[in-house]
């Protein structure tokens, strides 16, 4: 029996002006603002909004229910999570268990960071490899696992 093959691609995306992306990407049902750059091997799922002049580097995954502000940088390999295993395991398609993430304006997220469902205010830097488990409501630099304010 032959396996079912899904191909990456761009489907039902609302693009702003002057957007650039590097194939291959998997973008579907999302909104991409003006002057955005998206590197290769990025997946941006439906119900995601990316603000103007933001940059998404290669190998990053932005799951459903994420909103990213303007002038934001997402480093290589950044992972966003919307399922926190509320019932002790994966939601298994029960999207009512998924949670939202909101990233403010002028935020930089370093490579290989993991962002759980949180709100991050404007003017924040998240260090490479950090794991953000709680809301960030004060501008500054945050690092570690779990991410804590450095300065």
Domains, the chain, ordered by start: 10-83+98-149 (2.160.10.10)
pLDDT tens-digit map of 67-105: 999 999 999 999 999 999 988 889 887 888 999 999 999
Q: Is the pLDDT of residue 151 over 80?
A: no
Q: Is the pLDDT of residue 127 over 90?
A: yes
From the list 59, 102, 105, 119, the catalytic residue is 59
Strand order in the sheet with 131-132: 10-11, 25-28, 42-44, 61-62, 79-80, 114-115, 131-132
pLDDT tens-digit map of 25-34: 999 999 999 9
Closest CA to 57 of 75, 43, 32, 78: 75
Sorted by sequence, the CB contacts under 8 Å of residue 11 that are 6+ apart come out as 27, 28, 29
How many Å from the N-terminal Cα to the C-terminal Cα in the chain?
Answer: 57
Active site residue 76: no
């Amino acid at each position: 029996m032959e396996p079912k093959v899904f191909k990456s691609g761009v489907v039902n995306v609302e693009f702003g002006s002057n957007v650039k992306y590097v194939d291959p990407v998997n973008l579907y049902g999302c909104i991409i603002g003006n002057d955005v750059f998206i590197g290769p091997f990025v997946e941006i799922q439906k119900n995601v909004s990316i603000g103007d002049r933001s940059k998404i580097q290669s190998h990053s995954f932005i799951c459903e229910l994420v909103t990213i502000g303007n002038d934001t940088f997402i480093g290589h390999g950044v992972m966003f999570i919307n399922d926190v295993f509320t019932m002790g395991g994966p939601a298994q398609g029960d999207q009512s268990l998924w949670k939202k993430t909101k990233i403010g304006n002028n935020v930089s997220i370093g490579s290989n960071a993991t962002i759980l469902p949180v709100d991050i205010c404007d003017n924040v830097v998240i260090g490479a490899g950090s794991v953000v488990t709680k809301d960030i409501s004060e501008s500054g630099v945050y690092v570690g696992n779990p991410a804590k304010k450095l300065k």
